[in-house]
Amino acid sequence: MDITTAKVIVTGGASGLGEATARYLSGAGAAVALFDRDADKGQAVAASLSNASFSTVDVTSEESVSAGVANAAKAMGGVTGVVNCAGIVTGARTVGKKGPFPLEMFQRTIDINLVGAFNVARLAAVEMAKNAPNGDGERGVIVNTASIAAYDGQKGQAAYASSKAGVAGMSLPLARDLAGLGIRTMAIAPGLFLTPMLESLGNEMMAELAADVVFPKRLGAPEEFARMVRFIIEMAYLNGDTIRLDGGLRLP
C-alpha cells in the first residue's frame, strides 16, 4: 500500500505511541483520523497536522466507534488502514495485601485493550471492504498493538498480559477471516518505549529499565514504533503475525 495515498485511523491518537504514529504517518503523506477519549489533546494534535481529523471515541462502544469510522471515512474519503494504540496499563497481584485482584479492574483492562481493538477492527473492516483493490487485491490493513508482556508477563500483570496476549492471538484468525476482503492484519509487540507514562517515573527509574534491554541499551523511541507501522502498511506480504519490537528485551 502506498503510504502517500493511505487513509488511516489511529486510536489513542492523542498521546504516546498513537500520537507518534499519527504524526509520522501524516508527515509521510498519509491522511489520518485520530480517535481518543481526550477531546482537548486529540483536537490539538489533529490541528497541528496536515490532512488530519479527530473524533472523540470510546473504543469499547459500538455506537461511538461506528460514528467515529463514519466521520473518518467522510473526512479522508475512505479508510484503508487502522492502527489500534488505545489501551490502559493496570497492575495488581492476583492475591495481594488488600485481597484478590479486583474483578472490575481485570474486566476493564480486557474490555479496553482487547475488546476495544477488535471492535474498531471489525467496524473499520466494513468500511475498508468498500475500497477498490490494488494490484495485490488489497483493500486495507489493520495493525494492532500487543506487548512483550503477552509473552513475558511479570508479577501483577495478569490482566494486562492477558489482554495483550489476546491481541497477539487475534492476528492470524483475523487475517484468515478478512483475507477474502483483501484486508491484512498484523500486530506489534513493543517493549519499553519512552512514552509520557514511563517519563513520569523519572530518569533514574528509566535508566534501570533500559539496563535490561539487550541492545541498544535504551528505551524505544515512539517514532521507531511508528516506523514499524509504516513498514507493515507498505509491506503487503506481512500478514497474520505479531512482530516484537523490543531491542531483545525479555522481561524477568
Q: Please tell me the distance from the alpha carbon of residue 147 to that of residue 180, in angstroms, as a whole number.
A: 28
With a cut of 80, say whether residue 200 has pLDDT above it.
no
Residue 97 lies in a domain: yes
Residue 129 lies in a domain: yes
Among 219, 215, 188, which Cα is nearest to 202's?
A: 219
pLDDT digits (tens, 9 = 90+) for 128-139: 999 999 999 999
pLDDT digits (tens, 9 = 90+) for 86-140: 999 888 999 999 999 999 999 999 999 999 999 999 999 999 999 999 999 999 9
**Is 160 annotated in the active site?**
yes
Residue 251 lies in a domain: no
- Torsion angle defined by CA atoms of residues 218, 88, 50 and 45, in that order, rounded to the nearest 10 degrees: -90
The pTM (predicted TM-score) of the whole model is: 0.96
| pLDDT band for position 217 (cuts 50, 70, 90) | very high
Residue 98 lies in a domain: yes
Residue 250 lies in a domain: no
Cα atoms found within 13 Å of the Cα of residue 23, Cβ hemisphere only: 15
**CATH number reported for the structural domain that contains residue 123 in this entry:** 3.40.50.720
Residue 175 lies in a domain: yes
Q: Which domain does 202 fall in, by range? A: 3-245
With a cut of 80, say whether residue 201 has pLDDT above it.
no
| pLDDT band for position 209 (cuts 50, 70, 90) | confident
pLDDT digits (tens, 9 = 90+) for 12-23: 999 999 999 999
Catalytic residue among 24, 151, 160, 237: 160
Count up the domains in the chain and report the number: 1
Q: Which residue do the cell numbers 497492575 mark?
A: 91
pLDDT digits (tens, 9 = 90+) for 44-79: 999 999 999 999 999 999 999 999 999 999 999 999
| pLDDT band for position 210 (cuts 50, 70, 90) | confident
Task: Determine which helix (DSSP H) or strand (DSSP E) holds 99, and give its type and residue range.
Answer: strand 99-100
